[in-house]
Amino acid sequence: MTPTEEATRTADAERDETPNDERERRQLEETWKEPGGFFGWFRCVHHTTIGRRFIITAFIFFLLGGVEAVMIRIQLARPENRFLGPDLYNQIFTMHGSTMMFLFAVPVMEALGVYLVPLMVGTRNIAFPRLNAFGYYVYLFGGIFLYTMFLLNTGPDNGWFNYVPLSGPEYAPGKRSDTWAQMITFTELSALVVAVELIVTIFKLRAPGMSLNRIPLFVWAILVISFMIIFAMPTIALASTCLILDRLITTQFFNPAEGGDVLLWQHLFWFFGHPEVYIIFIPATGIVSSILPVFCRRKVFGYTALVLSLVSTGFIGFGLWLHHMFATNLPKVGQSFFTAASMMIAIPTGVQIFCWIATLWGGRLRFKTPLLFVLGFFLNFIIGGLSGVMVASVSLDQQVHDTFFVVAHLHYVLIGGAVFPLFAGFYYWFPKFTGRMLSEGLGRWVFALFMIGFNLTFFPMHQLGLKGMPRRVYTYLPEMGWGGLNLLSSIGGLIIAVSVLLFVIDVFRSLRAGELAGDNPWEADTLEWATSSPPPAYNFARLPTVAGRAALWDRREDQPIIKGVRSDLREMLVTNVLDAEPDHKTVLPSPTIWPFLSAVAVTGLFIGSIFTPWAVPVGAIPVAIALVGWFWPNRQEHEEELSAERDGRPPQEVEA
């Protein structure tokens, strides 16, 4: 029997429930059900609910960022175009970059992690579920804040990187720059709390048998980026705080006249900014590693090499930031080190690509839409990676830095390297999220249009950069000879828009009338496919155990089942870090309004503090009250906890 046939047989067998099982399942449903009604919406704490909201919100921001991109392309389609004046254009390209990087790219990858990781590791909810909800609301409010300010003509207009002195108190009057800086605070807080939850889930809540060398590659990817987020994001949170302090209470961090330094901003920003792009790319590689085995009907080639590549990319990614500052006249010796490091990071990436090709080489392929997007990823990302090697060179970068060549490079790696795998992931996991399949036929059209549109938009930009067109220009002179390529690029942009529109249409159509998916329509190997589509609120009727890397394909005849976790409480199994052996049990919190209220209080503090420093002590009071409300247990929670603790032995008696 092939692995997939085996998995199907086992799944079928498990559906033969005894009456006991059915009783237990119904009790689980009752215990874990999500609150309904209007107010209930604000109290949900299950990871699939929050994850779904996260994904949808991030996708809406993707669409908004896309609209901004189309507006940019319309303005640049002809020289001396008057579609957008300089002020609006500068706000729009800033909003485009900020939306895509802060409100879409990182959140959507974390969102996939929030939804899938607990399922993939075989547990019932993410660690710290209330914090998860809080993280979502803070992200949502941050995005709403940014767009509200934009609509009030106070949108940031100094680029997504907001360099000083242009963004400082002297040259950026008003609240535009502060809006950007505080949007950072919202999104970084959200990303950080989610990162902590994901790490703890991956370390402590895995199914027995899922030792560290058996976790799916997507989970490895999420683990690596969660660590990266923890080390990278505080830097930019601090930098944006220093900027607000300079603007609001006259600190002098970035003022050369009083001992500050304009380059300090760039160092801080890019120390975060470079890892940021790997934070976006690495989960995409996790998606590719998830999809390839399924559509090649074999296990991925080189699991260990792939894991080591992920980890080393994460590490090396922190040592590249200076390559964004090659034009600032820093000492040559230092620059050379960063060139070497920037080229070196291509090696682990290359390892991944070769392992994937090896996987395809030995596989029996099914050319469904997820695989098509993965193949598109290969073509586009490799172009982006190669142009990356080019810009790693100091000498060449001095010509192409801050030109459309870099715009081409970054879009090839970000769209090619992250958005294409993301769309592959959407087509792959949509059945799991919703219980219905997306349309294969429409999917091929979406893919083809996206491929053509994307390459038509961004490939000419390589040439434009080399022909002297700088970035962030709202128009250009006709005699420069850039009009033709720009027009081509803008047409490509419209084709992308059509492709995305088709995708959105397909989503709505499939939600209502798509083919029913069943548990495992792709005959895949990871644990999320071992439960219904969409998963019930308790994820698995029986907590799974695992015997190999491909959980469902390596399932044994006598695969152990877990007994003894209560179904009348939100009880979960905590396992140890290395071997995932059961260690103790814990009761997770039930739905509550406090994460939402805390997020509202925090939002008040953040928004107030760009207007007056007093907002900090004053705003801290509602935050403190909300947090106390969150943590203070009520009688029912106390009784439940006591009841659960009485089941087991005291921890002091049990060896770790």
Partner 1 sequence: MKENLVIDVSDLPGYAFGHRSVMWWGTLGIMVIEGTMFAVMIGIYFYLRGRVPDWPPNSAPPELRYGIANTLVLVASVIPNVWYQRAAEREDLKKVQIGLLISLAFAVAFIVLRFYEFTTLNCHWTNNAYGSAVWTLMGLHTTHLITDFIDSVVLTALMFTNLVEGKRFSDVSENAFYWYFVVITWLPIFVVIYLVPRWI
Partner 2 sequence: MKTATKQLRPGRCLALVCAASVLLCSGCAGVQSALDPAGLQAHRISRLWWLMFWVCLSVFVIVMGALGYALWRSRRRERVATEPEAERSMTRWVTGAVVVSAAILFILLIADFSTGRAITSLESSDAVMIKVTGHQWWWEFTYDDPVPSQQVTTANEIHIPVGRPVRLEMTSHDVIHSFWVPNLHGKTDLLVGHQTVTWLQADRPGTYRGQCAEYCGHQHAHMALLVVAEPPEDFKAWLDHERLPAADPSNDEQRRGRQIFLTRAWVMCHQIRGTDAGARSGPDLTHLASRQTIAAGTLPNNRGNLGGWVVDSQGIKPGNKMPPNELSGEELQALLSYLESLK
Site for partner 2 in 154-193 (CB under 8 A): 158-159, 163, 165-166, 170-171
Q: Is 248 in the site for partner 1 (CB under 8 A)?
A: no
- DSSP readout, 619-641? HHHHHHHHHHHHHSPPHHHHHHH
Minimum CB distance to partner 2 smaller for 343 or for 587: 343
Contact letters for partner 2, residues 384-413 (x by CB under 8 A): --xx-xx-xxxxxxxxxxxx----------
CB of 184 to partner 1, least distance (A): 14
Cβ contacts of residue 265 below 8 Å, gap of 6+? 163, 164, 239, 243, 254
Question: How many angstroms separate the CA atoms of 306 and 290, rounded?
Answer: 12
Nearer to partner 1, 237 or 280 (CB): 237
Told to check if 463 binds partner 2 by CB under 8 A, we report yes
CB of 117 to partner 1, least distance (A): 15
Please state at what angle helix 106-121 crosses helix 262-296, rounded to 10 degrees: 40
Task: Give 263's Cβ-side CA count (13 Å radius).
Answer: 9
Which of partner 2, partner 1, none has residue 249 at its interface (CB below 5 to 8 Å by kind)? Answer: partner 1
Site membership for partner 2, residue 508 (CB under 8 A): no
Binding residue (CB under 8 A) for partner 2 from 56, 262, 547, 600: 262
* Sites for partner 1 among residues 447-476 (CB under 8 A): none
In terms of C-beta distances under 8 Å and separation of at least 24 residues, what long-range contacts does 110-113 make, across chains too? 110/54, 110/191, 110/194, 110/195, 110/198, 110/222, 110/229, 111/51, 111/54, 111/55, 111/58, 112/51, 112/55, 112/283, 112/287, 112/425, 112/429, 113/194, 113/198, 113/222, 113/226, 113/283
Closest contact distance (angstroms) between CB of 313 and partner 1 is 20
Q: Which two tokens stand for residue 175?
A: 């609240």
Toward partner 1, which CB reaches closer, 126 or 372? 126
Q: Tell me how far, at minimum, the Cβ of 40 lies from partner 1, in Å.
A: 25
| Shortest Cβ 621–partner 2 spacing (Å) | 39
Does the footprint of partner 2 cover residue 476 (CB under 8 A)?
yes
**Among partner 1, partner 2, none, partner that 452 touches (CB below 5 to 8 angstroms by kind):** partner 2
Structure tokens at 398: 């001095």
Number of residues engaging partner 2 in binding (CB under 8 A): 100
Task: Give residue 413's identity as a one-letter amino acid code.
Answer: V
Q: Is 481 in the site for partner 2 (CB under 8 A)?
A: yes
Using alpha carbons only, how large is the chain's radius of gyration in Å? 25
Residue ranges in 299-417 assigned as alpha helix (H): 303-316, 332-344, 346-361, 369-392, 394-400, 404-411
Interface residue with partner 1 among 212, 565, 593, 600 (CB under 8 A) is 565
C-beta closer to partner 1: residue 81 or 576? 576
- 329 interface partner picked from partner 1, partner 2, none, CB below 5 to 8 A per type: partner 2
Q: Which of residues 595-654 bind partner 1 (CB under 8 A)?
A: 624, 628, 631-633, 635, 638, 641-642, 644-654
Q: Which of residues 209-238 bind partner 1 (CB under 8 A)?
A: 230-231, 233-235, 237-238
Helices 176-204, 594-608: inter-axial angle, 10-degree rounding? 150
- By CB under 8 A, which span of 85-93, 114-122, 195-203, 603-611 interacts with partner 1? 195-203
560 binding partner 2? (CB under 8 A): no
Which tokens hold the place of 449? 């249009």
Question: Following CA atoms 519, 521, 524, 526 in sequence, which dihedral angle do they give, to the nearest 10 degrees?
Answer: -30
The residue count for binding partner 1 (CB under 8 A) is: 80
Going by C-alpha positions, the residue among 132, 138, 140 that lies closest to residue 45 is 132
**Residue from 2, 148, 153, 250 in contact with partner 1 (CB under 8 A):** 250
One-letter amino acid at 527 equals L
Give backbone dihedrals phi and psi of 570, rounded to 5 degrees, phi first: -80, 65
Instruction: State the binding partner of 287 from partner 1, partner 2, none, CB within 5 to 8 A by kind.
Output: none
Q: Are residues 316 and 345 in contact, defined by beta-carbon separation less than 8 angstroms?
A: yes
Which segment (217-225, 230-238, 295-303, 527-535) binds partner 2 by CB under 8 A?
295-303
| Residue 468 binds which of partner 2, partner 1, none (CB < 5-8 A, kind-dependent) | partner 2
Give 72-126 as a 3 state SS string: HHHHHCCCCCCCCCHHHHHHHHHHHHHHHHHHHHHHHHHHHHHHHHHHHHCCCCC
332 forms part of the interface with partner 2 (CB under 8 A): yes
What does the alpha-carbon distance between residue 596 and residue 43 come to, in Å, rounded to a whole number?
Answer: 7
* Residue 312 touches which of partner 1, partner 2, none (Cβ within 5-8 Å per kind): none
| DSSP bridge pairs for 572 | 586
Q: Which of partner 2, partner 1, none sits in contact with 480, Cβ below 5 to 8 A by type?
A: partner 2
Segment near partner 2 (CB under 8 A), from 231-239, 344-352, 588-596, 632-640? 344-352
Minimum CB separation of residue 501 from partner 1 in Å reads 40
Separation between Cα atoms, residue 535 and residue 531, nearest integer Å: 6
**What residue 200 binds from partner 2, partner 1, none (CB within 5 to 8 A, per partner kind)?**
partner 1
The C-alpha angle 444, 449, 451, rounded to 5 degrees, equals: 95
Q: Which of 582, 604, 608, 622 binds partner 1 (CB under 8 A)?
A: 582
Q: Considering the complex, what minimum distance in angstroms separates the CB of residue 5 from partner 2? A: 12
Residue 61 and residue 239: Cα distance in Å, rounded? Answer: 24
Cα–Cα distance, 8 to 11 (Å, whole number): 5
Q: Is 334 in the site for partner 1 (CB under 8 A)?
A: no
Residue 647 contact, options partner 2, partner 1, none, Cβ 5-8 Å cut-off depending on partner type: partner 1
Strand partners of residue 584: 574
Provide the minimum distance between the beta carbon of 418 and partner 2 in the complex, in angstroms, as a whole number. Answer: 19
Smallest gap from Cβ 234 to partner 1, in A, equals: 4
Contacts (CB under 8 A) with partner 1, residues 9-68: 13, 16
Element (H, E) at 602: helix 594-608
